Chains A and B, each alone.
Chain A
Amino acid sequence: MNARRAGTQPAFTLEQLLAAKEIVVFCGSGGVGKTSVAAAAALGATMHLGGKVLVLTIDPARRLATALGLEGLGNRAHRVPPEVLKAAGIEARGELWAAMLDTKQSWDDLVLMHAPDEVTAYRILENRLYHDLTARFVQSHDYIAMERLFEIHASGEYDLIVIDTPPTRNAIDFLDAPARMADFFGSRLLRWLTLPYRVGGKRGSRVFNVASRPFYQMADRILGSQFLQDIAEFFLNFQSMYSGFVSRAKAVERLLHDKRTTFAVVTTLEAAPLYEAERFCAALVDRDFHLGALVLNKTLPDSLRDPDGAAAAGACIDEAGPLADALVETGDPALADRDRTARVLRTVGESYRNFSVVAMREAELRAELARVPDVVASVPTLADDVSDVDGLASISRYLFHGEAT
């Protein structure tokens, strides 16, 4: 039941994909296990393909972060100690490195890189709006994750970079983040808003032009003029980084479209995440990104759809009494109480039937998937949470060898 039958080996495997690509972006809606799957894929690559592999993770569960030794590291990458892997019985051919994303630090670095001079850089970094903007601007995490990816890739330090994406409300958002960032800094509106401050000569004295006057009157009434002036000043400073920022955002976008980059969509077989995953696969293809793999995570075992299992479950319920009688004969003290044994048998049968319905629903949803990439991997529901290298190793076995599906 376990190993795959000979001859059914698919032509494309995740191993092959990871061997060919330099960047794998794992994406999907919240709660599907992206982070664990990404870390497991990186671990698998370290084991089977060798080289220097980095997993860049956005928001790992605390115990997983601890397991990878990531706590308190900020943006710095560090190597998962070979002893940790060895302790989990893993013979790694290569090196596994891990890093988290510190959004604030990454933004600060970016400002320091692009500002024309230090004075401007610090004027931006100290602006009260800067913090709010980088912390709350919904796309700022998305963009900065891709920006970090670019930075790391450009360093040429790794053979393979595996990244999991930030939890966005809409998984598609981050694909547009670099383009949106470029648009934002180049927008006419931004220029329009800061215009009166620029032509006014000295900062703070506004010269209205006819076109913008109603807007300012409106904005003044709602927001107060001081506030508006703060905003304008902030963006005046920010605009000094315009060309650096935009060319960078464009470079990030080119990298995501590069042949060396691929996307892997992670989902569970529940209706809502699956719907998101399908839309996401379609969006990737529409936008000319490379859709490399679909990972179905936390699937229920196929044995729940086995007719023999269903028959046995039915018999457990219908013949619980006679079965319990027969089991008393075994002499096992835990089976001496006939009524208890019968009750347990019925519960076991009912439980199988319950999960069987879910498993059938999963199978049907999977069959209905319209557009799937060449590589499809399934990772079953594991009895325990994945919170250590052992757990990652078992996920990676399913990812790489399709165990037990």
Chain B
Amino acid sequence: MNGPAPALLDRRLLLFTGKGGVGKSTMAAATALLASSIGKRVLLVEVDAKGDIPAQFEHSPVGFTPREIHPGVLAMAMDTEASLQEYLRLNLRVPVIGRIGPLARVLDFVATAAPGVKEILTIGKIVWEVREAIEGRADFDLVVVDAAATGHIVAQLGAADTIRELVDVGPLRTQTQWLSELLADPAVTAVNVVTTPEEMPVAETIELVDQLRREVNVPLGTVVVNRVLPELFTRGDEETFDALREPQTGDLLTARLGRGATDVLDAARLAVSMRRTGATHLEHLRRSVDLPLLYVPYLFVRAHGLRVTRMVADALGAELGL
């Protein structure tokens, strides 16, 4: 640990991982939007290429070549085959096509057989772009990655080390050295884990943080807790709320508010219970993980699109004190 961790957005590579369905893409997109709003240029990389990222900016899908999808935000979709071609072209000066047969099938095979190949092609491309940014050759300052889900991220981040364990000589060995160094640099990289206040996502987050610390040398940034329900009542307010649900009060309310009074009180009861269940999981998370937690509220009005990206970016900005 060399002094205090640099502010999140001052780093060069921010990866977002987490259990499927917790909102990784939204957090990556919102972070990119937030960074662009304070004047940075951002490359947003979608690793699982589901096309979610451009949609968060109301943009059509993008390919391997970065395209500006929003002022200050470029996006690209990871494609390991394209990454291999680029690697071969840049590093080995091999005229690729036609010499090693159908590249896709070869890659498919090698990637299946050799652990870490697909992963290294993914993380290698990402870190290569980071180095371009640091050395001033890119037209962006920050790389934000909508990374692989919990089950896959450790293999991806550890790919460079895995390869060096398996491969004794050759260019791959030397070329993975700088990659590991950039990934390990806390001034450059931060892995952020996205979660929700639910049992499984919290359990996976705790396990993942632990596993990342044990197995890979990559600095951790924050844990982003998505879809946090609002606290409806203070303790005193809750007593009042409980009193509203007493039978005699209920009659009075039904008389004044109509048949729907029960529905309204039941809905609030459900909201309180859901919040409380979530709070138990959050408490467990806080006790088990010593990383800064950022809270993003549950959004009632909209579920996706640029509008949501903006709202989440604002929430993250507030949490980061921007």
A: residues with CB less than 8 A from B are 29-32, 61-63, 129, 132-133, 136-138, 167, 169, 184, 187, 189-190, 193, 214-215, 218-224, 226-227, 231, 234-235, 270-273, 301, 303-304, 306-313, 315-316, 319, 323, 326-327, 330, 332, 334-335, 337, 340-341, 343-345, 347-349, 351-352, 354-358, 361, 381, 383-385, 387
Q: List 9 A-B contacts (CB under 8 A).
A: A61-B203, A169-B20, A221-B170, A221-B171, A227-B167, A304-B267, A312-B263, A335-B240, A348-B265
- In the complex, whether B185 has a CB less than 8 A from a CB of chain A is no
Whether the Cβ atoms of A330 and B248 lie closer than 8 Å is yes
Residue in A29, A61, A234, A310 whose CB lies within 8 Å of B199: A61
Which of A214, A330, A344, A385 touches B233 (beta carbons < 8 Å)? A344
Residue from B166, B236, B264, B303 within 8 A of A313 (CB atoms): B264
Looking at B9-17, B94-102, B128-136, B137-145, the stretch in contact with chain A turns out to be B94-102
**Neighbouring B residues of A326 by C-beta, 8 Å:** 252, 256
B1 proximal to A (CB < 8 A):
no
CB distance from B274 to the nearest CB of A (A): 6
Known: A223-B170, A351-B267, A357-B300. 10 other contacts (CB 8 A): A29-B21, A30-B20, A31-B198, A167-B151, A215-B100, A227-B168, A303-B266, A303-B267, A306-B260, A356-B267
Decide yes or no: A351 and B168 within 8 Å by CB, A218-B94, A315-B257 being known contacts: no
Q: Which residue of B lies closest to A190 (CB)?
A: B109
Chain B 267-286: CB-based contact to A (< 8 A → 1; otherwise 0): 11111011001000000000
Is B233 a contact partner of A335 (Cβ separation < 8 A)? no
Interface: B318 (CB within 8 A): no
Q: Which of chain A's residues has its CB closest to B236's CB?
A: A340
Residues on A with C-beta less than 8 A from B92 are 221-222
Q: Give the distance in Å from the alpha carbon of A309 to the alpha carbon of B199 in the complex.
A: 31
| A311 CB contact (under 8 Å) in B236, B252, B258 | B258
Q: Are B203 and A31 within 8 A (Cβ)?
A: no
In the complex, what residues of B have CB within 8 A of residue A356's CB? 267
Q: Is B109 within 8 A of A31, CB to CB?
A: no
Instruction: Determine the chain B residues whose CB is within 8 A of the CB of A311 once the complex forms.
Output: 257-258, 260
For the complex, what is the distance from the CA of A81 to the CA of B76, rounded to whole Å? Answer: 53
- Which residues of A sit under 8 angstroms from B173, Cβ to Cβ? 224
When each residue 235-256 of chain B gets 1 if its CB lies under 8 Å from chain A and 0 otherwise, what string results? 0110111111010110011001
Contact A189 B106 (CB under 8 A): yes
Residue of A nearest to B261 (CB): A312
Task: Check if B114 sits within 8 Å of A227, measured CB to CB.
Answer: yes
Quick check: A30 and B263 within 8 Å, CB to CB? no
Closest chain B residue, CB of each to CB of A180: B112
> How many whole Å from A9's CB to the nearest CB in chain B?
25
- Is B123 in contact with chain A by the CB < 8 A criterion? no
> Is there contact, CB below 8 Å, between A226 and B168?
yes
Closest A residue, CB atoms, query B149: A169
The answer to whether A231 and B21 have CB atoms under 8 Å apart is no
B105 beta carbon closer than 8 Å to chain A: yes
CB of B210 within 8 A of chain A? no
By the criterion CB–CB under 8 Å, are A344 and B22 in contact?
no
Smallest beta-carbon distance B64→chain A, Å = 19
Contact partner of A381 (CB less than 8 A), chosen from B106, B196, B262, B274, is: B274
Q: A30-B19, A61-B200 are in contact. Are A352 and B267 (CB under 8 A)?
A: yes
Q: Is there an interface contact between B21 and A334, defined as CB atoms closer than 8 Å?
A: no
A312 in complex: contacting residue of B19, B244, B264, CB < 8 Å = B264
> Is the CB–CB distance between A308 and B263 below 8 Å?
yes
B86 proximal to A (CB < 8 A): no
Q: Which of A138, A226, A351 contacts B268 (CB 8 A)?
A: A351
B residues less than 8 Å from A133 (CB atoms): 112-113, 115
B155 interface residue (CB < 8 Å to A) = yes
